[in-house]
Amino acid sequence: MFFVYLLLSQDRHKHSYVGYTDNLKKRLMLHNSSKGAKYTKGRKWKLIYKKKYNSKSEAIREEIKLKKNYKLRKLIKERFI
């Protein structure tokens, strides 16, 4: 089981980050301890969206779609700001 997720930074800029993982809890902990992706270092993150997929390839495909779809990301972010 894999997840595509969207994180929102807790600073005033409200940056977003999209990723995929098979262990959501561990991945969020890594992002918040500055051991996740380079882009997420130095910020605190909140999980605002997740969707479950049965295969890694399906999750990666959906992650790419969400990363490119700025309108959808903005809609998701607006529900949490």
Q: Between helices 56-68 and 70-78, what is the axis angle to 10°? A: 90
Q: Work out the pLDDT band at 81, boundaries 50, 70, 90.
A: confident
Residue 72's CB is within 10 A of a number of other CB atoms, namely: 13
Q: What is the pLDDT of residues 16-63, one digit of tens each?
A: 999 999 999 999 999 999 998 999 999 999 999 999 999 999 999 999
Q: In angstroms, rounded to a whole number, what is the distance separating the alpha carbons of residues 56 and 76? A: 23
Q: What is the pLDDT of residues 2-26, one digit of tens each?
A: 999 999 999 989 999 999 999 999 9
Contact residues for 39 (Cβ-Cβ < 8 A; gap 6+): 17
* pTM across the whole model: 0.93
Q: Domains in the chain, please, with CATH?
A: 2-78 (3.40.1440)
- pLDDT for 59 equals 98
If 0-12 CB within 10 Å is exposed, 13-18 middle and 19+ buried, where does residue 26 land? exposed
pLDDT greater than 90 at residue 80: no
